[in-house]
Each structure stands twice: as C-alpha cells, then as structure tokens.
Structure 1
Amino acid sequence: MIRLNWTDEQKNRIIELSKQGLSSPKVAQQMFDEYGINFSRRTVARFIATGHTSSHYKGKPKSKVKDVKRGTEIVINKDGSTTSSTTMQMTAEQAKDPDFVLRAHGFNPDDWDIVSARNNFWQQNSQENGLIDLYQSKITVKPKVDKDIKRAVEVLTRDIKPLKVKHSLDSSRKRNLVIPITDNHWGITHLSDVQDKLSELLDIIKQGYGTIVIEMIGDMLHSDKINSTETVSGTVLEDVDMPKAIDEAMQFTEAIVVTALENANTVMIKSVGGNHDFDISYMFMIWIKERFKQAQVDVNNRYRTAYLLGHVLISIQHGNVNKKNPAQILANECRHLWGIATTTEIHSGHLHFDKTEDQNGVVFRQFSTPKPSDDWETMNGFVGSNKLMYALEYSDDRLKVEHFI
C-alpha cells in the first residue's frame, strides 16, 4: 500500500463523513469516489478513532464523537396512520421486537399497531459509551382497531333485548304522520344540538295517528367506519367519536320510536343508506329491528325504496344517485303501487337544504338537516340553509299539514 500524505481537506472530509454516521468501509469508498485515491479502510478507522494515520501512534485516542439528542419527525397521513422517523440506539434483537420499537418512538403498544417498519443499522463512536450500534428507524402505525370496535359493539349490544312498549289501538286516529330523518350526521351532531327539536317532534307524535312512518333517508351517522372517520367510498373526514355517535343516534331513535308506538296504531320504519354511512346504517337498522319488535322495520341495502300510505305513494332515496329521472324509475319499479296511488311523492336529502317541487304531478321533497355546520361547510361558505326537522301529516290521499321544526 502506498503511503499517502493526506491533505487537510481530505482529513476534514473523512471526519465529516464519519459524523454523518457512515462506517469506516463506507467512508473509504466515498473518499475513493470523490478523490480517486484508495484509502485504506483500516487507516480510515484508525484516523477516525485517534486522529492519526500511522499504525505506530501510541498516544491517547482522539476525542470521540459526542452523543447528541436526536429528534423525531412525526407525519400524520390522510388514511389515519402516523409515520415516525428517528435515530435510536438498540440491539439487533430489540429491532425485531415490535413493542420495543413502538415504545422507542413514543407509542403505547396497547393502543397502536405497526403497519410497516424499516430500521437501517450503522455504528458510531460515542464519547460516553464508545462504539455504539445506531438505527435510523422509520415506522408507520395505526391505532388499534379492537379498542374502538369493542366500545362500539358494547354500545350496539347493550340493550339488545326487545323493548316492550304499551301499545293500544284507537279507531279515532284517522290521519297518518311521516317523519323524515335525513343527514343527521351523528358525530358532528350531538343530542344537545337537537334536544329542543326532539321535544317538539315528540309533542306532535303524541297527538295520535293511525300510522306513523319513520323514514331513515341516509347519512344518519357521519362516518361509515368506527376506527377512522371516512365515508363509504373512503373519503377522509374530520375526526369524530363514532362509538359516542352511535350511542346518541340510538338514544334519539329510541325516543322517537317508543313515543310513536305509544301513540299510533301502526309504526313503520323505512330506510336507505347514504353516501356517508351506507354500510354502517344497514347494521344500525338491524339493531332497530331487533330492538323494536312491535314496529314494521324494513332492513335493506337498496339505494331507494317505496311504500303506500293509504293512497299516497312515497319513495325515499338519499339523493346522491338516480338524479336524472327518479319519477320514471319509480313508475317502472313500482307499477302496481303507482297505479293505486292518487298522490306520488319522492323524499330525499343529501344537499342539506329545503326544496319542494312539483314535476308533472310528482312532488319532490328535499329535506334540510338539523346538524351544525362542520369545518368543510364553514370553509366553503355553505352555512345559509335552515337547520330543520320535519313532520308531515297526511290524509288518505294527500298531504294536509307540514310541520317545520
């Protein structure tokens, strides 16, 4: 090996590369790439440790690189996961231990699962500890699903026993009542937001009716998932507490259904899913059917459904699909009911504002929502619509009274 007289520039470059965490072989390779000179790996290692290139040097080792505090970079991803990058000291066995890696990044293993992990190894001299093993560690984690799902299951099954309500028939109840419930977005909406409206609705129900129909027209719940806040299509939303949202939706629904059973000869509950909650609303309707055996509950996974109330044909659909010609679709899908009806209506929501339109004898009723404006609506200025609930009184053949609550 030819003896080299290293320049100050080359010595400073070796020190710089060493401080970056490169091993002696990698420093030697980098020096060859930059200067075209074959630096001995052993001599490079000696120079890093002692500050001298000669093998005959017996003096005190050069001051070693001091330990430094290493920061952690945290990135919160759109899919609800979190990515953490940091430099840490650990052994090869510890690098294989998910719980150790989670704790090293500041995550509790009881609350988080590792989605992916990458640990890159090198060695570095430490003034306090000598030669130490270091890892550049990058992990992506997600909150454990089990914890929130367990809470949600506990909520949904807490009162699974059928509820028996004192129910009596009264021949004096002539009119029928339809209660459209759409776009409540529980999670954004809380019971405190609608308490007064609920009390007013219950007072209307207590007047007594032949048939009460409760229409669940979609987006009752803000998210279609429990652990993350997303629509059924995967659009990421602002975070809400879904177990709490389900609990409040259950309390709200139970208050209406129980009062309806006490004050109507027949109670029907019709439903369609929304673009936010299509899947989870199906599960919610199963709970309703099991809970209220005295009601006629329609559990389905359709985008629209229809029923006959006396001689009034009513179709419900959320409003995000089948926009082109819903009246014609209704006539084709429900030919028999269409022929019996003297009045035909289509009820929808989705757009969060009130609108009624008569198109060639078919009345389209688009209902508003009582929910407070969320961050997205506020940002885009969609804050002017009335925050309403509704109750519609029908005779055998047409609408008689419309309550704006």
Structure 2
Amino acid sequence: MIRLNWTDEQKNRIIELSKQGLSSPKVAQQMFDEYGINFSRRTVARFIATGHTSSHYKGKPKPRVKDVKRGTEIVINKDGSTTSSTTTQMTAEQAKDPEFVLRAHGFNPDDWDIVSARNNFWQQNSVENGLIDLYQSKITVKPKVDNDIKRAVEILTRDIKPLKVKHSLDSSRKRNLVIPITDNHWGITHLSDVQDKLSELLDIIKQGYGTIVIEMIGDMLHSDKINSTETVSGTILEDVDMPKAIDEAMQFTEAIVVTALQNANTVMIKSVGGNHDFDISYMFMIWIKERFKQAQVDVNNRYRTAYLLGHVLISIQHGNVNKKNPAQILANECRHLWGIATTTEIHSGHLHFDKTEDQNGVVFRQFSTLKPSDDWETMNGFVGSNKLMYALEYNDDRLKVEHFI
C-alpha cells in the first residue's frame, strides 16, 4: 500500500461520504471506485475521527457528531398545559428569549405562553460547525387567552340587564310542569338540530301551569373550557366552537324561560353540574339568575339538589356520581322533605338513553339526550338511543302526563 498525500478534494469527499452515513470500509471502497487509489480503511477511519491521516498523530481523538434534527417529546397535562422536551442548538442569549424558545419547540408565540422553562447547557463537536452550544430544553406552555375567550366573555356579559317579562297570575292553573334539560352538549348540538323540538315544547308550556320547574341536569355545554375542548377532568374532546355553543345555549334557554314566565304563576330553575361542564355551567347559571330576576333560580356547585313540588319530592343529579344508593342518600340529606312527600323521584341523565325504574317506591327517571351522535359515539356504535326532550305534568301528589318530544 502506498503512502498518500491526500488532496483537499479527497479529504472533503471522505467527509461528505461519512456524513451520508457510510461506514469506513464503504468510504474506502467508494474512494477507490472514484479515484482508483487504495485508501486504507484504518486511515479513513482515523481521518473521520481526528481530522488527521498520519498514524503518528498522538492527539486525543475528538468526538464528532453529525448535525441531525433531534426529536421532541410532547406531554399534554390534565390542567390544559403542554410540556415539551427537546435538544436544540441556541446561544445563551437565545435561551433567555421566550419567543425563540417557543419556536425551538415548535410553538407559535402568538398562540402560547410559557408557564415554566429549564435549559441545560453543554458543548459538543459538530462535523459541519465544529464546537456548538446545545441545550436540553424543557418547557411547559399554556394557550394564550385570545379572542375566543374575549368573545365568550362578551357573550356571557352582553345585555345582562334583567329581562322583564309580562305575565299574570291565573288561579285556574292547577297542574305543574317539569322540564328536564340534560346532556344537550351545545357545541355538538346546534339550534338547527332542535328547532322543531323546541317549538313543540313551547306549545306545551303555553297551555299554562301553576308552577314550571326547569331542571338543568348537567352537560348543557360540551366543553368545560373555551380555548380548548375538554371535560372538567381534562379529557380531550373533539374540537367545537365554544363561543358559538354558549351563544346558542343562551338563545335556547331564553326561549324556554321567557315562555315559561309568560305562562306560569311561578318559574323555578334548578341546576347541577355535569362531568363535561361542571365549572362553566356554574357561570352559565349566574347569567341565568341575573337575566331572569322574575324566576326563582338556584345557583349552586353541588352534585345533587332536591325540591318539593306540591307533595312530590324530586332530586336531580347528573348521574355520573352517587350511583350506589341515591335514594338512601336523598332520605338522609332531605329528611324533612322526605317526610312531607307522598311521591319521590330522582331525575338524571349522563348515559344518553331513556330509562324509568321504580325501586321500593322511589321512581328513577333517566332521560335521553337530543344531541346528534358525535364521532366517539359513532365509532363505538352508541347510536341506537332515541333523541328526546321531555315535559312532565304533575298534580299535587304524582305524575299525570309525560310528554315525549
């Protein structure tokens, strides 16, 4: 084997082949094919590692790495934040620039804010650039409060002055009407989906009643957040337009409450939160209370509540908790009302299908939903239940008429 004085062209070619991922033997073979010269595999390996061709070079081999795009690990947290970990090249000044760090992790600074950041520094040799500064960077970010939230706030606060509805008392109205509203999931459901059912419900209300009770039994809104679509526990859902959902929920509710105030001596609105919208439904009920001062509005953050309608005791709960023995819990929590009542009922939703069951004299009414099937329900085949609304007519001591709408 002859000793070679490698030209700059040959050295550059060896570096180029090495960057393409070829091993030292393959680089040596490729150089022989191109130049007709037998390049020693060992010498080629030494040159790639040290930058020198001589076997007499005594310096410590310098580790060389190829500049490659490094992966990023993304973790979505339950509180709505996102944690990103990546290795990236930046300067000390760039590491202090929030916008640069966000872009390094693939986040648009216009859409995200940094909650916390940690950048660990070290140096490493690069084939292309020599000694480079690297950072192991870990950040936690949250979506910015943007126009969607501003829109939602505007919707919830616009025209919040009390709405005055003209109505008169009528002693001939003897029966009472209960309107259970559960699992509407506004955002999946739209006004165009329920116009006919709403019109039929309003016609029933217009018959006139002594007391109308509107039961808000949870999951009126599909998401508990505005800027992302997820439940109160952080389960990620398919995206919906929450400002529009809130607006349509308000229109739907106002149509029912106004018509009820016009056609009943007393209007009561009872509520509990659902597993989708427990927090945001509380805020929604505050809007209802401020908007409809003529109604008796119960704003609470409880999982269940109860009321007496004549001698009928009715408890409402969404249905996702207190499933073991709700009748016994009702008897313990509402001892006085339990003693007065001649009929006891528990109203719930959550499971999206209709079911009525009498358990030792306590009637359990589980109501269906009027919402269209979403992607998750369609995927799992949960598409067979009836899409219903309800209106229940009671006299002083029991149910008399059940309207399926």
Q: Same fold (TM over 0.5)?
A: yes
Alignment of 1:306-345 (within 5 A): 306-345=306-345
Shift of the 6–252 alpha-carbon distance from structure 1 to 2, 3 Å rule, reads same
Q: Which moved more, 1:176-185 or 1:377-386?
A: 377-386
Shift of the 125–300 alpha-carbon distance from structure 1 to 2, 3 Å rule, reads closer
Per-residue CA distance 1:27-55 (angstroms, 9 max, x = gap): 99999999999999999999679954679
8 Å contact kept, 2:82–2:140: yes
SS of 2:256's partner is helix
Shift of the 270–63 alpha-carbon distance from structure 1 to 2, 3 Å rule, reads closer
Per-residue CA distance 1:75-132 (angstroms, 9 max, x = gap): 8778755667778765431232111333455543221123455667678999999987
Shift of the 126–306 alpha-carbon distance from structure 1 to 2, 3 Å rule, reads closer
Q: Which moved more, 1:360-369 or 1:261-270?
A: 360-369
8 Å contact kept, 2:164–2:292: yes
8 Å contact kept, 1:312–1:398: yes
Tell me, which stretches of 5 or more residues in structure 2 are unaligned?
none
Q: Distance in 1 between matches of 2:83 and 2:133?
A: 23
8 Å contact kept, 2:78–2:234: no
SS of 1:18's partner is helix
Q: Which moved more, 1:95-104 or 1:193-202?
A: 95-104
Q: Which moved more, 1:144-153 or 1:35-44?
A: 35-44
Deviation of residue 139 (structure 1)?
Answer: 5.2
Per-residue CA distance 1:145-177 (angstroms, 9 max, x = gap): 354433322221112211111122122222211
Q: Distance in 2 between matches of 1:26 and 1:292?
A: 82
SS of 1:222's partner is coil
Deviation of residue 289 (structure 1)?
Answer: 0.8
Q: Which moved more, 1:321-330 or 1:138-147?
A: 138-147
Q: Distance in 2 between matches of 1:10 and 1:115?
A: 51
8 Å contact kept, 1:218–1:278: yes
Tell me, which stretches of 5 or more residues in structure 1 are unaligned?
none
8 Å contact kept, 2:24–2:44: yes
Shift of the 100–308 alpha-carbon distance from structure 1 to 2, 3 Å rule, reads same
Q: Distance in 1 between matches of 2:353 and 2:17?
A: 64
Q: Distance in 2 between matches of 1:33 and 1:351?
A: 72
Q: Which moved more, 1:114-123 or 1:168-177?
A: 114-123
Q: Distance in 1 between matches of 2:29 and 2:271?
A: 69
Compute the RMSD of aligned alpha carbons: 7.4
Shift of the 87–344 alpha-carbon distance from structure 1 to 2, 3 Å rule, reads closer
8 Å contact kept, 2:78–2:235: no
Structure 1 match to 2:129: 129
Shift of the 362–23 alpha-carbon distance from structure 1 to 2, 3 Å rule, reads same
8 Å contact kept, 1:216–1:271: yes
Shift of the 102–324 alpha-carbon distance from structure 1 to 2, 3 Å rule, reads closer
Structure 1 match to 2:172: 172
8 Å contact kept, 2:182–2:349: yes
Shift of the 69–158 alpha-carbon distance from structure 1 to 2, 3 Å rule, reads same
8 Å contact kept, 1:21–1:123: no
Q: What percent identity do the matched residue pairs reach?
A: 97
Q: Say if 2:393 is the partner of 1:393.
A: yes
Deviation of residue 13 (structure 1)?
Answer: 14
Shift of the 106–350 alpha-carbon distance from structure 1 to 2, 3 Å rule, reads closer
Deviation of residue 56 (structure 1)?
Answer: 14
Q: Distance in 1 between matches of 2:306 and 2:15?
A: 78
Deviation of residue 370 (structure 1)?
Answer: 0.6
SS of 1:145's partner is coil
8 Å contact kept, 2:63–2:125: no
Deviation of residue 317 (structure 1)?
Answer: 1.4
Deviation of residue 182 (structure 1)?
Answer: 0.7
Shift of the 173–237 alpha-carbon distance from structure 1 to 2, 3 Å rule, reads same
Deviation of residue 338 (structure 1)?
Answer: 2.3
Shift of the 374–43 alpha-carbon distance from structure 1 to 2, 3 Å rule, reads same
Shift of the 71–175 alpha-carbon distance from structure 1 to 2, 3 Å rule, reads same
Q: Which moved more, 1:295-304 or 1:152-161?
A: 152-161
Shift of the 171–141 alpha-carbon distance from structure 1 to 2, 3 Å rule, reads same
8 Å contact kept, 1:86–1:105: yes
Q: Distance in 2 between matches of 1:242 and 1:120?
A: 39
Structure 2 match to 1:37: 37
8 Å contact kept, 1:23–1:124: no
Structure 1 match to 2:55: 55
Q: Distance in 1 between matches of 2:317 and 2:214?
A: 14
Deviation of residue 10 (structure 1)?
Answer: 16
Q: Distance in 2 between matches of 1:364 and 1:147?
A: 43
Per-residue CA distance 1:162-195 (angstroms, 9 max, x = gap): 1111122122222211100011122222222212
Per-residue CA distance 1:248-271 (angstroms, 9 max, x = gap): 211111111111111111100011
Q: Which moved more, 1:380-389 or 1:152-161?
A: 152-161
Shift of the 6–76 alpha-carbon distance from structure 1 to 2, 3 Å rule, reads farther
Question: What is the TM-score when the length of structure 2 is the normalising length?
Answer: 0.77
Structure 1 match to 2:95: 95
Shift of the 143–207 alpha-carbon distance from structure 1 to 2, 3 Å rule, reads same
8 Å contact kept, 2:352–2:369: yes
Shift of the 219–52 alpha-carbon distance from structure 1 to 2, 3 Å rule, reads same
Q: Which moved more, 1:257-266 or 1:45-54?
A: 45-54
Shift of the 261–38 alpha-carbon distance from structure 1 to 2, 3 Å rule, reads farther
Alignment size in residue pairs: 405
Q: Which moved more, 1:268-277 or 1:119-128?
A: 119-128
Structure 2 match to 1:381: 381
Q: Distance in 1 between matches of 2:338 and 2:232?
A: 32
8 Å contact kept, 2:85–2:137: yes
Deviation of residue 333 (structure 1)?
Answer: 2.4
Deviation of residue 239 (structure 1)?
Answer: 2.7
8 Å contact kept, 2:78–2:233: no
Q: Distance in 1 between matches of 2:22 and 2:302?
A: 61
Deviation of residue 242 (structure 1)?
Answer: 2.4
Deviation of residue 3 (structure 1)?
Answer: 16
Shift of the 119–327 alpha-carbon distance from structure 1 to 2, 3 Å rule, reads closer
